Amino acid sequence: MVSESLDEEQPASGDVALSGVPEGSRARIVRVEGGLGLTSRLTSMGLLRGEIVTVLRGGERGPCVVQVKGARIMVGRGMANRIFVRPV
């Protein structure tokens, strides 16, 4: 499992999974916990460490919809649970 963190130290207590960010909130991607396949897929979609995303749809069920660099991206709940962000 690969964990790419924005800070090379331990994760900050304010980091949350993307799936837990309320709709309408903005957050910066700080790390992804997953294998090479997951990190490559997210990179190809523009979900990179350091990018700021706006959560357009979250909630308890279904995929998350985020906006990054003007594009809307749908991320499955499983993936969203492995993307850790810090509110901005």
CATH of the domain at 41: 2.30.30.90
The model carries a pTM of 0.83
- Report residue 57: phi and psi, to 5°: -145, 125
Q: pLDDT digit string (tens) for 56-81?
A: 998 778 899 999 999 999 999 999 99
Domain total in the chain: 1
Residue 2 lies in a domain: no
Name the residue range of residue 20's domain.
14-87
Q: pLDDT digit string (tens) for 28-61?
A: 999 999 999 999 999 999 999 999 999 999 877 8
What's the pLDDT band for 7 if we cut at 50, 70, 90?
A: very low
Residue 28 lies in a domain: yes
SS3 content of the chain, % helix, strand, coil (to 5): 20, 40, 40
